[in-house]
Every structure is written in structure tokens, then in C-alpha cells.
């Protein structure tokens, strides 16, 4: 029996030695070292801008650097995978987009992460407004655009740079009872050029690329896709109202913060409280509004319910659309 006891002690000791020598993050000391915030897109875009504004303010509150790391690729999958495999201690966060948590799972087979299992939701951070845009010499209203499309079935083209806005264009066309043709683009700058050159008749795209040309009178915004205030175009109606299609609802691209699954709940709650304070900062709102970004926040459970509902909603739209992505 003593031999068995000694053997058991040796086995337990060996198992303890195999455990990583990393102390779990504690909410009363978090953070006591730099926090990494992974942005799964290149520098310079709206997501990167939002992350840097939030990161700077969080750094001020925490007294620790918040290091922005751009890990672009795979339509945000590379950054998401890196985060999912990071230690669940609160020191690696991901700026997760609707692309990351909703559109990739819907449209991409063999993702290197599980959107519902690999992350601990922290908070929404931003809701981005997209616009229905035509050239300045195009239709004056949404109703005129619909009438023109009905008079020319299958002849009006629309462009979008991401799957969210492509599906928004499909949903608008289906609910309005019009037959339109989608033209794919790689990003907002190409969408804008498509409008200016007449390659497409209308687009659904983010605010940042279109606003300067709208102000210059070269493009016209007919509607916005959600009900959020837009300081650059304060009188613009939501598309659901302008098209008289209440079933269209609100459509937003959005961003939020997540941590690796298993991050202690108390640490998640600490980060969420500070994110909420940053989102409510008037200076933050002022910096982001010009890009069509509305700073916002939510509880972890609210964020979890939100992106699960978005996943359910857009899964149905994608299946109905019959879109095949290469």
C-alpha cells in the first residue's frame, strides 16, 4: 500500500508540473500588463479606426497599453483563429465583425474557428450605417428607383463589396418585387468607381467612401439601411420607410469585442464595464460619427443574443438567395 501511495503522489506531482505556469487573470488586478486587441483587417479602414479609438481610451482607463495588432486575411478568419487559440485570460481580445461571427459561418465551409463555441462575447462596440446610393443623375427617390427597375426587369445592376451588403441588396430587391443583377466588387473604392462609371445603377455600401462624393454632388444617397442617426446626412430616411417595406427591418454592419472562450466571467465583466464607459464618451462619438460609425455597448449576454439572432436571420436569407460563393 505505501508503494501505491508513493506512486500516486509521483503521478500527481508530474501532472502538476505539466500545467502551464500562468496565473489566471483576476478582476481586481486586471490588467497588470499590456492587452492585445486583434483587428482582423488591414490598417486604415473603419474597423481599424474604431479599434484604435477604443483602444486608446481603454489604455487611459487601465493604465496599460492596448496594442492594436492587424491580422488581416481569410475574410477576418485568420485573426479570429489566432484569438480563439490564445490563452483565455483577457489579455487577447478580438474586434469581431458581423463578417466574423455571422457571415463567415453562413458562407464558408471548414472555418478554422467556431463562432458560437470559441469566443466569450464581451460587448458590441459599433453599429455602422450603410447607404443605398445612385449617381447624381439617377433616380431622385427610392420609389423612383423601384419604378425604374420594374419597368426594366433584369436590366438594373447593383454593386456591393461585402456579403452583408450583397445580401441586403438581394433582400431589398426581393421585398420590393424587382429583378436586379448583382455585380461583385472587392471593396468600397471599387463600388464607388462602378457607380461613377455607370457600371452599376445603384449600390449598397458603407458611409465612409461615399460621403465625400455625395457632398460634392457626384452621388446621391437615397436611404440608409438602419435607423441610427447619421450626422453627415441628418434627414435621410431608413430604407424600410423610404421603400415602404417595414418587413425589411434594420440592417447594420457592426463590430464588437470578444475574448477566447473560457475567459473568467469577472474579467469579461470588467472589460465590458470599461467598454461601456468608452462608448458613452462624447469625444469617442464625435471621432466616429463622421465615418458613419455609432459607438455603442451591450452586456455580454445581450451581445450573445444579438449575434445569434443575426446568424439565424441571415442564414435564412442566404439560403433563400441561392447565392453560390467561390
Q: What is the DSSP string of 115-134?
A: TTTSEEEEEEEEEE-EEEEE
Q: What is the dihedral of CA 9, 11, 14, 20, to 10 degrees?
A: -100
d(CA 155, CA 145): 12
pLDDT at 9: 45
d(CA 215, CA 202): 17
pLDDT at 230: 84
The number of angstroms, rounded, from the C-alpha of 263 to the middle of its chain's C-alpha atoms is 21
Mean pLDDT by runs of 10 across the 326 residues of the chain is: 49 46 59 97 88 97 97 94 98 96 94 97 94 96 98 96 92 97 89 94 88 93 91 92 95 95 97 98 90 91 97 96 83
pLDDT at 26: 55
pLDDT at 276: 98
pLDDT at 1: 45
pLDDT at 6: 55
pLDDT at 128: 87
Q: Does residue 324 sit in helix, strand or coil?
A: coil
Structural domains of the chain ordered from first start: 29-128+252-321 (3.40.190.150), 130-248 (3.40.190.10)
pLDDT at 15: 45
Amino acid at each position: 500500500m505505501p508503494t501505491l501511495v508513493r506512486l500516486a503522489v509521483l503521478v500527481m506531482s508530474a501532472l502538476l508540473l505539466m500545467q502551464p505556469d500562468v496565473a489566471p487573470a483576476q478582476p481586481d488586478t486586471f490588467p497588470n500588463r499590456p492587452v492585445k486587441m486583434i483587428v482582423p483587417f488591414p490598417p486604415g479602414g473603419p474597423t481599424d479606426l474604431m479599434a484604435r479609438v477604443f483602444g486608446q481610451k481603454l489604455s487611459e482607463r487601465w493604465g496599460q497599453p492596448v496594442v492594436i495588432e492587424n491580422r488581416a486575411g481569410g475574410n477576418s478568419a485568420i485573426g479570429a483563429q489566432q484569438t480563439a487559440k490564445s490563452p483565455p485570460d483577457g489579455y487577447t481580445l478580438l474586434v469581431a465583425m458581423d463578417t466574423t461571427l455571422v457571415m463567415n459561418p453562413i458562407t464558408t465551409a471548414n472555418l478554422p474557428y467556431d463562432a458560437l463555441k470559441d469566443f466569450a462575447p464581451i460587448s458590441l462596440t459599433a453599429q455602422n450605417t450603410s447607404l443605398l446610393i445612385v449617381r447624381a443623375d439617377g433616380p431622385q427617390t427610392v420609389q423612383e428607383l423601384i419604378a425604374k427597375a420594374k419597368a426594366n426587369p433584369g436590366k438594373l445592376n447593383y454593386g456591393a463589396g461585402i456579403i452583408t451588403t450583397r445580401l441586403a441588396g438581394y433582400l431589398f430587391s426581393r421585398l420590393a418585387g424587382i429583378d436586379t443583377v448583382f455585380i461583385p466588387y472587392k471593396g468600397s473604392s471599387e463600388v464607388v468607381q462602378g457607380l461613377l462609371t455607370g457600371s452599376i445603377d445603384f449600390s449598397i455600401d458603407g458611409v465612409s467612401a461615399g460621403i465625400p462624393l455625395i457632398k460634392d454632388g457626384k452621388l446621391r444617397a437615397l436611404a440608409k439601411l438602419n435607423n441610427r442617426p447619421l450626422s453627415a446626412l441628418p434627414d435621410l430616411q431608413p430604407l424600410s420607410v423610404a421603400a415602404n417595406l417595414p418587413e425589411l427591418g434594420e440592417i447594420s454592419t457592426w463590430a464588437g469585442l470578444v475574448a477566447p472562450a473560457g475567459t473568467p466571467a469577472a474579467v469579461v465583466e470588467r472589460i465590458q464595464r470599461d467598454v461601456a464607459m468608452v462608448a458613452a464618451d462624447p469625444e469617442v462619438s464625435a471621432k466616429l460619427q463622421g465615418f458613419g460609425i455609432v459607438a455603442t455597448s451591450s452586456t455580454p449576454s445581450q451581445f450573445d443574443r444579438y449575434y445569434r439572432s443575426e446568424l439565424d436571420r441571415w442564414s435564412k436569407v442566404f439560403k433563400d438567395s441561392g447565392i453560390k460563393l467561390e
